[in-house]
Structure 1
């Protein structure tokens, strides 16, 4: 997909209003997509995938106000539920009305009536602007575009947290452009002609990919290989961008509670959601293979439910593993689920060396579960994790003494739970290396 979804989207039922508003944004140098609302036609979800500011006429039905405002509010709610992307990110809803109390009523209506299963469809803020100030509602002629730009800016900046996040996204887009520009500088000037440019760029991309993930792994996922090479450059440019005094001041207003002693510690639920975002990749949002470094896969039920097979693989029965190794009381056995975590040497993974893949035995244990005894030294545990907002927080406990090795081809069909991102995976690997290589030291008793 080489075309980016629009960040500014306008929905209106009148063609001349729609044309005037979109032209106003274009005169400001801001790409804006106009969508004419027709009750007889479905809106296209793709048009809303990247929306950050959604401008919508408050009265899309009949084009005028009525005593039954809930009818109009309900229509807007259904449009949001049907079209806002679950993975699209936050957006602001700006409604055209000169009556601010109506936008407040709409905000309350959306807070209470948007489908609880679709929280992504709920706007971060509902703002109001009077359309009459910016265009002639009679003939659609444009007033001063700068006035609309300033009005939108002032409305957004009134909430510094929202303004800062939208500004951050714009900074990332700018940094991405800078990163691509730096990449293209590697192409010699003599080869920047139509006939030579593609081949020269292919050479550079191929070299980057091979150095980033190792020659054998490029074929697995070419895009991931290039992203691995460019991501550190992009992150550095985002972190070290020169920002204006206005932007710096905006961030100071947006982040104010970091030194607040009264700010309560995060609950396991809150911490689990944050840790999932930072340290865990889940299927659907990212491509994950069962053979990926850090992949957490389900242990086969055939193995877990067979003491004979468990003895062959882990030298212990299910009861022995749960109670003697993971210290789980009999009453809590069913609350815990076994998983395997793909580990191994980073160089072997990068170079796709021949040999069986190594997985460590792990157990997802609810964060509130009390175990029968202290954990053994061989055990590593993750921070609290929550994969989705509906489940209770848990921790992944991994005992590095229990490993399983299989050829890559035998693992490809294993069911994936999630993948530990590299920072968290390295903590597990560090614990494993420290445990398996610890020296045995005989100490004399102190006198």
Structure 2
């Protein structure tokens, strides 16, 4: 619970210099972790949660700069995890001329270090000036924090932490204490009851009992969102200068080579909680290359997979079908899923296709039952689209032979959209008319 705070780390091979810089932070109430570099002792695994990393460039007394750079690169990868996220790298050294050479050294090799340990800002502070008591630490740090991207992202991180605590405090303030000051047992028990009720009303009793952590997290999201929105700050407005001067949407473009598919996946696909085929939004594989599965498909739906595919996506070819993945999407009503009602599990038939399939579809022949999700997703490292046939639903148990493993789970927002599209489709009114 009280783990190390890794937001600021300092790495140096000189104990006196290390102690002095860490003490400068401590005296100002700023937490940091200091590491004495010896080339042998490192954390059991690289650290995460680092926002600012101070490294002395000369961690070893090398015979040449290549040895110094190699040791520095290795040290950074030993202390900072590739999954750390955005961080600022500060070299504190009296050899600032080495920084440009070190960058060239790193850029010679297209390895994981270059790809995954890129700092959002790189700065340098002269070690001699830094340790000089006449010079102000605040001024030097202020220079770093005023880099626009650093100021925005770290300010946003602080706002998130404040909003999270504010959310928790608002709920805790509703829970009664014992009338006697200092008696806390009653409050603790009351907390258990209130948060249990919050979990139950969010996930339903059965699901809340199975996974109270997720139930509480999902329950407080709307309150947290409100707490975050009412934070009075303008750091995004200050940072997004391009948005302020844009006249229309087309004035702003994604960076060259940017994978929008990965962004869509972050927002709409859960690849972690996909152990159960009966979870709402579970996308289950149906093996379209297996003869037995194809026979079950034809017996269940009264047509071959090939005919079904051609009607869903008219104009596509055999090659497109062979490169597609047949799927079933669990789409129980959210309330039924939350309350774990006894039910047969309902699935919609669909396919995962290559993005170019949409360009081949004969639009005038496509049926109103075809729900072609407009987004490109990054699925197992490949860009794909998802198509669903709203006319083909079926009920199945978890033991159904036609359903293979769960590939991933579609998140709530996109499942609500699919559910709404399905409801509108099945409730549409036919009208007899003459033209």
Give 3-state SS (helix, strand or coil) of 1:196's partner.
helix
Give 3-state SS (helix, strand or coil) of 2:66's partner.
helix
1:310 aligns to what?
Answer: 297
Question: Which runs of structure 2 are paired with 1:227-306 in the superposition (5 Å)?
Answer: 227-243=217-233, 247=235, 250-253=238-241, 258-259=246-247, 261-264=250-253, 270-283=259-272, 289-300=276-287, 306=293
Is contact 1:77-1:114 (8 Å) kept? Answer: no
Gaps of 5+ in 2: none
> C-alpha deviations, 1:278-320, integer Å up to 9, x for none?
222223xx67643222122222468676432111233221211
1:322–1:267: structure 2 CA closer, same or farther, 3 Å change rule? farther
Cα shift at 1:169 = 0.9
> C-alpha deviations, 1:120-152, integer Å up to 9, x for none?
22222221111211226xxxxxx26x8223312
1:128–1:267: structure 2 CA closer, same or farther, 3 Å change rule? closer
Residue 153 of structure 2: which of 145, 165, 175 is its match?
Answer: 165
Give 3-state SS (helix, strand or coil) of 1:29's partner.
coil
> C-alpha deviations, 1:87-143, integer Å up to 9, x for none?
32111111112344422333343344361487322222221111211226xxxxxx2
1:132–1:265: structure 2 CA closer, same or farther, 3 Å change rule? closer
> In the aligned structure 1, how far is the partner of 2:88 from the partner of 2:60?
21
2:37 aligns to what?
Answer: 37
User: TM-score of the superposition, structure 1-length normalised?
Assistant: 0.86
Gaps of 5+ in 1: 137-142
Is contact 2:378-2:384 (8 Å) kept? Answer: no
Task: State whether structure 2 residue 103 is matched by structure 1 residue 107.
Answer: yes
> In the aligned structure 2, how far is the partner of 1:183 from the partner of 1:111?
50
What is the alpha-carbon root mean square deviation over aligned residues?
2.9
1:55–1:114: structure 2 CA closer, same or farther, 3 Å change rule? farther
Residue 365 of structure 1: which of 350, 353, 356 is its match?
Answer: 353
> In the aligned structure 2, how far is the partner of 1:56 from the partner of 1:419?
41
2:122 aligns to what?
Answer: 126
> In the aligned structure 2, how far is the partner of 1:41 from the partner of 1:425?
49
> In the aligned structure 2, how far is the partner of 1:326 from the partner of 1:154?
57
1:355 aligns to what?
Answer: 343
Question: Which runs of structure 2 are paired with 1:80-229 in the superposition (5 Å)?
Answer: 80-113=76-109, 115-116=111-112, 119-135=115-131, 143=133, 147-158=136-147, 160-190=148-178, 193-229=183-219
Cα shift at 1:367 = 1.0
> In the aligned structure 1, how far is the partner of 2:202 from the partner of 2:194?
12
1:183–1:372: structure 2 CA closer, same or farther, 3 Å change rule? closer
Cα shift at 1:82 = 4.3
Is contact 1:364-1:395 (8 Å) kept? Answer: yes
> In the aligned structure 2, how far is the partner of 1:11 from the partner of 1:149?
20
1:248–1:436: structure 2 CA closer, same or farther, 3 Å change rule? closer
1:208–1:408: structure 2 CA closer, same or farther, 3 Å change rule? farther
1:248–1:293: structure 2 CA closer, same or farther, 3 Å change rule? closer
2:307 aligns to what?
Answer: 320
Is contact 1:356-1:408 (8 Å) kept? Answer: no
Give 3-state SS (helix, strand or coil) of 1:17's partner.
helix
> In the aligned structure 2, how far is the partner of 1:61 from the partner of 1:279?
47
Is contact 2:13-2:38 (8 Å) kept? Answer: yes
> In the aligned structure 2, how far is the partner of 1:308 from the partner of 1:94?
63
1:54 aligns to what?
Answer: 53
> In the aligned structure 1, how far is the partner of 2:245 from the partner of 2:259?
16
Cα shift at 1:161 = 2.0
Count of residue correspondences:
427
1:252–1:373: structure 2 CA closer, same or farther, 3 Å change rule? closer
> C-alpha deviations, 1:188-213, integer Å up to 9, x for none?
13267232232111011101101111
User: TM-score of the superposition, structure 2-length normalised?
Assistant: 0.88
Is contact 1:379-1:397 (8 Å) kept? Answer: yes
> In the aligned structure 1, how far is the partner of 2:118 from the partner of 2:308?
46
Is contact 2:58-2:68 (8 Å) kept? Answer: yes
> In the aligned structure 2, how far is the partner of 1:421 from the partner of 1:37?
44
Cα shift at 1:256 = 5.4
Cα shift at 1:83 = 4.4
